[in-house]
């Protein structure tokens, strides 16, 4: 409960402040100036992914004068990811389809290569299946890529013409290769079609199975990279489903040396030296982000640690280091400050500001997001974040519960969230709980939510609300719940499961009938997607109906608002129609139904988002706002 104590102490300090100035909704939903920055090997250029309402574009800027050198735009619903520098003058990137702001890319997308000025552009055949394994800096014309079709294959790919040569094949159905620092294959790790996880070691010309976890069992044993000596392997290791530990393993003796771990969360990110040989640090997101330095004596570790210390109230994300180690690209961010991009020159000892993602947002006007740890009814500890409105007393507040989408493998983190800050700016506390089923807290924590979307995962939300009420932070008569995608599911399932806990609910692009997801969603179109749904959704039709909001509408006692995109293929709009039809049949017609016919899974156009949140705020104000009747 240490986080709650820290939070309450902080609230005393702000309780006498004046109410925050109301910020226009449009400011929260304007397109960011960038969402990704990648540094060239020579440190002279950056590749910047720029989001737009229905797509993203890629631009290369010369750092010396921030002049635009090249630009790429592949059209509506096309988004850039996996941007990498093949050499100083040539880029590699995937262009995937992303249908809506709540959508998650299922595949990497088509792969392209281009000179930085836009010339020499090629479409790489089979690029949609490729994942970059090594950029082989000593040979600027080739890279090593992998793909999985029946078996895992490693290829050498020419970045100028797209031609490939097979380097290795591994006996796994879906997986990745781990190479040593001379680009020799050492391990293959992945999954078999039966759902088991396997690790193979390359011994001469043959493969040796060194670890296997059957489908449905918890546990992690996964090579990350070879150590600098090319003998030891850096592993993620856990046998019992807890948070994975980073260890160094001697393949010959099996001896392990602990490198880094956290008792609560899995590793979130890694820092390697500029030559790619040495693991410098591991990042964790247990509440506030922190970097754990594994090699404190390395000169580059001292550079990174110095940068972290130079921004004490922010977290740093490192976006690349030049091959000579001179230039470091990084972004700063916090719960109240959107990302800003910098370039650090180690010779000059100077960090140069490059770009701001949302320069119109004033961090001083935003509200603090504080970590919370909560004990559940069954004795488990769950984790999340509570945002308290700036200038409030911190007591007896109206609350919006905001469960994240996904739900598995996804989690909320400490960062600037536009919709959360909007709600806080209007006087609402916002709760984001990483309920069981969320990613990042160990394999067992995630698997605990499988088949329990409408039971255990909802209980975690319920217990969190009751905890805040019991501690006087939240007014029990002023609680609503809102979420998108799985969060939309949770928003409806929660008010059915706990009809007296909430005063209203908002479901946005939500799953309301599991059978529609199993038969009509784009997830169900692939074998991988079908296997996923079979593993995480309730096993029987009876259980699926028991946990589907559309089949429990008679339990709803509060006003309902629904929003959905007419072209949603991830969560088809049939979910909404089925829910509304069943609600009307029992005399519980939703108060508000917003349908944007041309929007996909999550509204993309700023004007539609502004309309959505204007309507939503009016809905919340009516039932838990200052003038609401209790």
pLDDT > 70 fraction of the chain, expressed in percent and rounded: 95
Q: Is residue 471 part of a domain?
A: yes
Q: In this predicted structure, what is the pLDDT of residue 299?
A: 93
Q: What is the band of 630 on the pLDDT scale with cuts at 50, 70, 90? A: low
Give the pLDDT confidence score for residue 141 in this predicted structure: 94
Would strands 290-293 and 164-170 be described as parallel, antiparallel, or unpaired? Answer: unpaired
Return the pLDDT at 100.
58
Q: What would the mean pLDDT of 384-402 be, rounded to a whole number?
A: 96
What is the structure's pLDDT at 129? 81
Question: pLDDT band for position 248 (50/70/90)?
Answer: very high
Selection from 422, 618, 617 nearest residue 29 by Cα: 422
Beta strands of 452-503 (E only): which ranges? Answer: 474-484
Q: Which residue has the tokens 């309730």?
A: 538
pLDDT value at residue 356? 94
Question: Could you tell me if residue 451 is inside a domain?
Answer: yes
Q: What is the pLDDT of residues 498-556, one digit of tens each?
A: 999 999 999 999 999 999 999 998 888 887 788 889 899 999 999 999 999 999 999 99
| Residue 65 pLDDT grade (very low, low, confident, very high; cuts 50, 70, 90) | very high
Higher pLDDT, 96 or 292: 292
pLDDT at 123 (0 to 100):
93
What average pLDDT does this structure show over 378-388?
A: 97
d(CA 303, CA 323): 15
- End-of-domain residue from the set 100, 129, 158: 129
Q: Is the pLDDT of residue 422 over 80?
A: yes
- Give the confidence band of 108 by pLDDT, cuts at 50, 70, 90: low
Strand-by-strand arrangement of the 340-345 sheet: 315-321, 327-333, 340-345, 350-356
Asked if the structure places residue 241 within a domain, the reply is no
pLDDT of residue 192: 86
Q: The tokens of 559 are what?
A: 């006003």
For 29-38, 223-232, 387-396, which range has the lowest pLDDT when averaged over its residues?
Answer: 29-38
User: Is there a single domain that holds both residue 10 and residue 57?
Assistant: no
pLDDT confidence band for 1 (50 / 70 / 90): very low
Is residue 433 within 8 Å of residue 384, measured between CB atoms?
A: yes
- The number of domains in the chain is 2
Q: Are residues 567 and 518 in the same domain?
A: yes
Q: pLDDT at position 239, please?
A: 79
pLDDT of residue 546: 96
How many residues make up the chain in this entry? 630
Average pLDDT over every residue of 105-126: 83
102 pLDDT higher than 50:
yes
| Range of lowest pLDDT (60-74, 114-128, 465-479, 580-594) | 114-128
Where residue 41 sits, what CATH number does that domain have? Answer: 2.40.128.660
Q: How confident is the model at residue 193 (pLDDT cuts 50, 70, 90)?
A: confident
Task: Assess whether 477 and 381 both reside in one domain.
Answer: yes
- HSE (side-chain half, CA atoms, 13 Å) at 610: 13
Residue at a domain's end among 129, 145, 169: 129
Please report which confidence band the pLDDT of residue 2 belongs to, taking 50, 70 and 90 as the band edges: very low
Domain that holds residue 451: 2-14+362-624
Radius of gyration of the chain (CA): 25
**Which of left, alpha, beta for 551 (phi over 0: left; psi -120 to 50: alpha)?**
alpha
pLDDT, average across residues 243-269: 95
Q: Convert 226-251 into a string of H (helix), E (strand) and C (coil).
A: ECCCCCCEEEEEECCCCCCEEEEECC
**Pair (9, 119) in one structural domain:** no
358 confidence band (pLDDT: 50, 70, 90): very high
Task: Assess if residue 314 is contained within a domain.
Answer: no
Position 145 scores a pLDDT of 93
Q: Alpha-carbon distance 113 to 115, whole Å?
A: 7
Residues 372 and 457 in one domain: yes
Torsion of CA 305, 307, 309, 311, to 10 degrees: -150
Which among 131, 275, 125, 124 is positioned nearest to 190, based on CA atoms?
131
Q: Is the separation of the CB atoms in 116 and 45 below 8 Å? A: yes
Query: CA–CA separation, 371 vs 383, rounded Å?
Result: 7
Q: What is the mean pLDDT of residues 399-417?
A: 96
Alpha-carbon distance of 371 to 451, in angstroms, equals 27
Q: What is the mean pLDDT of residues 286-295?
A: 95
pLDDT range class, residue 103, cuts 50, 70, 90: low
| Residues 483 and 381 occupy one common structural domain | yes
Half-sphere exposure of 564 (CA within 13 A, CB side): 28
136 domain residue, yes or no = no
Rounded mean pLDDT, 191-212: 89
428 and 368 in a single domain? The answer is: yes
* CATH number of the domain residue 460 falls in: 3.40.50.1820
**Is the pLDDT at 104 greater than 70, yes or no?**
no
Residue 573 φ then ψ, to 5°:
-65, -10
Check pLDDT > 60 for residue 82.
Answer: yes
Average pLDDT, the chain: 91
- Asked whether residue 215 carries a pLDDT value surpassing 70, the answer given is yes
Residues 9 and 39 in one domain: no
Quick one: which H or E segment has residue 595? strand 592-596
Does residue 105 form part of some domain? yes
pLDDT of amino acid 256 = 93
Whether 8 and 45 share a structural domain: no
Count Cβ atoms below 10 Å from residue 216 Cβ, excluding itself: 10
Give me the mean pLDDT over the 115-133 stretch: 89
Does the CA dihedral 359-360-361-365 come out positive or negative? positive
% of the chain with per-residue pLDDT over 90: 76
Query: From CA 75, how far away is CA 301, in angstroms rounded?
Result: 41
564-579: average pLDDT: 94
For every residue of 248-298, DSSP letters joined together read EE-TTT--EEEEE--SS--EEEEEE-TTS--EEEEEE-SSS-EEEES-SSS
Same domain (yes/no): 58, 95: yes
Residue 138 falls inside a structural domain: no
Examine the fold and report which residue of 77, 98, 129 is the final residue of a domain before the chain moves on.
129
pLDDT value, residue 20: 65
Structure token pair of residue 52: 């737009």
Q: Are residues 10 and 70 in the same domain?
A: no
Residues 44, 63: contact at Cβ < 8 Å? yes
* 7 and 115 belong to one structural domain: no
Let me know if residue 244 belongs to a domain.
no
Question: What value does the mean pLDDT take over residues 159-183?
Answer: 93
Q: What's phi and psi for 570, nearest 5 deg?
A: -70, -45
């Amino acid at each position: 409960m240490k986080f709650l104590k820290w939070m309450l102490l902080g609230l005393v300090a702000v309780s006498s402040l004046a109410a925050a100035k109301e910020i226009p909704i449009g400011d929260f939903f304007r397109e960011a100036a960038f969402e990704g920055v990648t540094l060239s090997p020579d440190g002279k250029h950056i590749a910047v992914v720029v989001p737009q309402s229905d797509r993203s574009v890629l631009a290369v800027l010369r750092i010396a004068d921030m002049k635009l050198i090249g630009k790429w735009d592949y059209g509506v619903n096309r988004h850039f990811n996996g941007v990498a520098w093949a050499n100083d003058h040539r880029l590699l990137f995937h262009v995937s389809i992303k249908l809506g702001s709540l959508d998650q890319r299922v595949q990497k997308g088509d792969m392209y290569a281009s000179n930085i000025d836009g010339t020499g552009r090629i479409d790489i055949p089979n690029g949609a299946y490729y994942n970059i394994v090594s950029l082989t800096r000593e040979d600027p014309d080739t890279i090593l890529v992998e793909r999985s079709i029946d078996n895992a294959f490693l290829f050498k790919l020419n970045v100028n013409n797209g031609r490939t040569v097979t380097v290795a094949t591994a006996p796994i159905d879906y997986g990745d290769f781990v190479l040593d620092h001379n680009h020799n294959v050492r391990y293959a790790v992945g999954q078999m079609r039966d759902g088991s996880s396997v690790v193979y070691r390359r011994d001469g010309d043959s493969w040796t199975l060194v670890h296997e976890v059957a489908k449905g069992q918890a546990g992690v044993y996964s090579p990350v990279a070879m150590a600098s000596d090319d003998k030891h392997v850096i592993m993620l290791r856990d046998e019992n489903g807890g948070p994975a530990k980073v260890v160094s393993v001697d393949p010959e003796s099996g001896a392990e040396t602990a490198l880094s771990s956290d008792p609560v969360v899995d590793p979130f990110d890694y820092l390697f030296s500029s030559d790619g040989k040495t693991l410098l640090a591991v990042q964790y997101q247990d509440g506030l982000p922190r970097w754990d330095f594994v090699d404190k004596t390395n000169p580059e570790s001292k550079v990174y640690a110095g940068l972290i210390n130079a921004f004490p109230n922010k977290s740093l994300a490192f976006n690349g280091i030049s091959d000579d180690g001179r230039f470091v690209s990084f972004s700063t961010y916090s719960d109240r400050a959107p990302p800003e991009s910098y370039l650090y020159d180690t010779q000059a000892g100077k960090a140069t500001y490059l770009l701001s993602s949302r320069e119109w947002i004033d961090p001083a006007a935003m509200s603090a997001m504080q970590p919370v740890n909560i004990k559940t009814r069954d004795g488990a500890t769950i984790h999340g974040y509570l945002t308290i409105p700036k200038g409030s007393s911190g007591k007896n507040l109206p609350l919006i519960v905001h469960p994240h989408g996904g739900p598995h493998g996804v989690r909320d983190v400490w960062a600037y969230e536009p919709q959360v800050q909007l709600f806080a700016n209007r006087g609402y506390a916002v709760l984001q709980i990483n309920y069981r089923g969320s990613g990042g807290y160990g394999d067992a924590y995630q698997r605990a939510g499988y088949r329990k979307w409408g039971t255990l995962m909802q209980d975690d939300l319920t217990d969190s609300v009751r905890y805040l009420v019991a501690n006087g932070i939240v007014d029990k008569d002023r609680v609503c719940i809102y979420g998108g995608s799985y969060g939309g599911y949770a928003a409806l399932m929660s008010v059915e499961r706990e009809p007296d806990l909430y005063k209203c609910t908002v479901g946005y692009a939500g799953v309301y009938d599991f059978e529609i997801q199993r038969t009509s969603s784009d997830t169900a179109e692939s074998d991988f997607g079908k296997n996923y749904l079979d593993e995480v959704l309730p096993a029987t039709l009876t259980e699926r109906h028991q946990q589907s909001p559309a089949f429990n509408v008679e339990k709803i006692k509060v006003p309902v608002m629904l929003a959905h995109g007419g072209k949603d293929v991830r969560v088809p709009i049939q979910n909404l129609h089925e829910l509304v039809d069943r609600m009307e049949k029992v005399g519980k017609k939703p108060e508000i139904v917003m349908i944007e016919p041309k929007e996909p899974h999550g509204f993309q156009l700023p004007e539609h988002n502004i309309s959505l949140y204007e309507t939503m705020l009016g809905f919340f104000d009516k039932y838990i706002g200052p003038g609401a009747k209790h």
